[in-house]
Copies of this chain bind each other. A is one copy, B any other.
């Protein structure tokens, strides 16, 4: 289903899908909310997850923490219905626009994984950067939704 990457001009300006998977067989994926364009999450797909996403029109990722295909929403119920998939100029990253209705995307409980903003400007020596919380309320209680599931965050 993928074209061979044998020509830069074709990769950049051609019409055939020829994704570049990294040394672990993964391609990064940005997922936005089709209702308002906000970024929900940043994840990864392998070739199988990409194929499943295209065919089922529901987002599938590769979970690096669990080392397996991850049909988003299987545990939480927050399935992502795919509205559009785009790929970038050199075909090494993917943009997924999805409909999550009134749901959420972040395992911590917020709608978007990007709920904290980094302060801008000059940094003083050895200063720790204090972020602002931009979502004031969680959409769900992760303790209830993910009962018994391991936390995917790794240090």
Contact = CB atoms under 8 A, between A and B. Distances in A.
B120 A155 contact: no
A131 B15 contact: yes
A42 interface: yes
Interface of A is mostly: loop
B118 A42 contact: no
A118 to B, nearest CB: 4
A12 B142 CA distance: 12
B155 A122 contact: no
Given A16-B131, A55-B122, 12 more contacts: A1-B126, A1-B129, A3-B128, A5-B155, A17-B118, A17-B131, A20-B154, A28-B42, A54-B123, A84-B117, A86-B116, A89-B107
23 contacts: A1-B127, A1-B128, A8-B153, A15-B131, A17-B128, A17-B131, A20-B154, A20-B155, A36-B37, A39-B95, A42-B93, A42-B95, A51-B123, A54-B119, A54-B120, A54-B121, A55-B121, A57-B121, A85-B117, A86-B115, A87-B131, A89-B153, A90-B154
